[in-house]
Structure 1
Amino acid sequence: MTDAMSSLYPFLSPATGGDAASVDAVLAEVRESTRDKAREIMELRGRVHREQGHLLAECGAALAERFARGGRLFSFGNGGSSTDAADLATQFLDPPPGTRPLPAFALTADAAVVTALSNDVGFDLVFSRQLAALGRPDDIAVGLSTSGNSANLLTAFGQAKRAGMLTVGITGDTGGRMAELDCLDFLFAVPSPSVHRVQEAQTTIYHVLAELAAEGVR
């Protein structure tokens, strides 16, 4: 093993009792697991493209139309999905060369706002209160959840629809409670029970939407 590998995995080092055969077996298992995971996400992304590609195209066009009318995008999510919401906003603000940046904001970015609303009015309202204050009829609300069951996202979508915003849900598996909403204009559900695979495919979905929107308002 290299010095770097020995420092990361000392229990595999011959110096600490790991024999060469054991090291080779573990490394072979890791390589196979990595190949399996890569194969899973490639197949899942292909399935999303086949089954929801038409929705992606329709949603991208709808986003472009809203941006062309002066609309802004607000993204939100919890936990790992909150960082995805921030990345989603970045994709619109910092698009590929040759396309114009589009106004997008992550409702999870301001810790003072998030903690104040969570403390004063409740975590279930942390996103809907921000949309009530900021949302306009030409704006866009995009919520991300691996389960589709987050109460604060469901409440936020209701508020966004009342404000006349375009609503886009990105979730996993069969969609959870998000799939039962009648206030969503577009719903993308990654058909997998694995949180890891769902989040990996969700990044592809919103990257595609950002590119489509940027091309549509070029």
Structure 2
Amino acid sequence: MTDAMSSLYPFLYEDTTNGGDSVDAVLAEVRRSTMDKAREIMELRRRVHREQGALLAACGAAMAERFAQGGRLFCFGNGGSSTDAADLATQFLDPPPGTPPLPAFALTAEAAVVTALSNDVGFDVVFSRQLAAFGRPGDLAVGLSTSGNSTNLLAAFDEAHRVGMLTVGITGEGGGRMAELDSIDFLFVVPSSSVHRVQEAQTTIYHVLAELAAEGVR
């Protein structure tokens, strides 16, 4: 077991008598790195609040209005953003006590639908096809992307806009191609080039939106 572990984590098993880093030094570096990352995301969240707080409030109010009129939420994203989209849908379906559940769906939840569309039609339409089938005027569409360049998200926003849905985009530094779309009503851009920090801040953004929308409906 020791041999297996040392092959995976050699820095923990170095001979410190020959000038190698000690375990204490390695752990100290890990602690420093962790604290640096925590400070970075905390400042990033503060910056998003400073620069986009008013937009968050306006978007939350618009989402609440749609829900109050019977609108349904459709969430989508690729990779880690797909997981975030599912988490966002869960925030509405399983809200805190005292908050009414609201209809929300993650467009990657049905593996058969996603793989059928990807295989038979193309991955670029995996979200827009579903919105064309399920979406209706008054519904909501929220798409997440760290780069803002995912072709299937761009197509989904265009389709959602065509249908008459409220569209919300959440992306990373610069906004990518999403920032060029006229079909996104509210666009939130996390000002960071780090995918990890972008995803962490995006989580905060959509949780805030979920709380604001739910409060507006209650």
Q: What range describes the TM-score normalised by the shorter chain of this pair?
A: over 0.9
SS at match of 2:22: helix
- Structure 1 match to 2:10: 11
1:166-185 deviation line (CA, Å, top 9, x unaligned): 00000000100000000110
Structure 2 counterpart of 1:80: 80
Deviation at 1:94, TM superposition (A): 1.2
Letter of the structure 1 residue corresponding to residue 16 of structure 2: D
CA distance in 2: counterparts of 1:10 and 1:118, whole angstroms = 39
Which deviates more, 178-187 or 21-30? 21-30
Assess if the C-alpha contact under 8 Å between 2:14 and 2:22 holds in 1: no
Measure the CA separation in 2 of the matches of 1:55 and 1:102.
22
Residue in 2 that maps onto 1:163: 163
Normalised TM-score (structure 1) = 0.93
* % identity of equivalent residues: 81
Q: CA deviation at 1:97?
A: 1.6
Structure 1 segments unaligned to the other structure (5+ residues)? none
The answer for unaligned runs of 5 or more in structure 2 is none
1:98-127 per-residue CA deviation (whole Å, 9 max, x = no partner) reads 111111000011110000000111000000
Asked if 1:109 is matched to 2:106, the reply is no
Match runs of 1:1-218 below 5 Å:
11-13=10-12, 16-19=13-16, 22-218=22-218
Cα distance between partner residues in 1 of 2:79 and 2:92: 21
- Aligned equivalents of 2:11, 2:55: Cα separation in 1: 48
**Superimposed CA distance per residue, residues 38-57 of structure 1 (whole angstroms, 9 cap, x where no aligned partner):** 00000000000000000000
Deviations along 1:15-72, whole A, 9 cap, x unmatched? x444396111111100000000000000000000000000000000000000000000
Secondary structure at the aligned position of 1:101 is classed as coil
User: How far did 1:96 drift?
Assistant: 1.7
| Partners of 1:18 and 1:91 in 2: CA distance | 50
Deviation, 1:7, is: 8.9
1:162 is paired with a residue whose SS is helix
| Inter-partner Cα distance in structure 2 for 1:29 and 1:85 | 34
Q: Distance in 2 between matches of 1:8 and 1:34?
A: 24
Is contact 1:12–1:19 with CA below 8 Å preserved after alignment? no
CA change 1:29–1:133 in 2 (3 A) is same
When normalised by structure 2's length, the TM-score is 0.93
User: How far apart, in 2, do the equivalents of 1:209 and 1:193 lie?
Assistant: 23
Aligned residue type for 2:198: V
Please report how far the alpha carbon of residue 10 of structure 1 lies from its aligned counterpart in structure 2 after TM superposition.
5.5
**Secondary structure of 1:182's partner?**
coil
Relative distance call for 1:183 and 1:24 in structure 2 (3 A) is same
How far apart, in 2, do the equivalents of 1:10 and 1:184 lie? 46
- CA-based RMSD of the aligned residues comes to 1.7
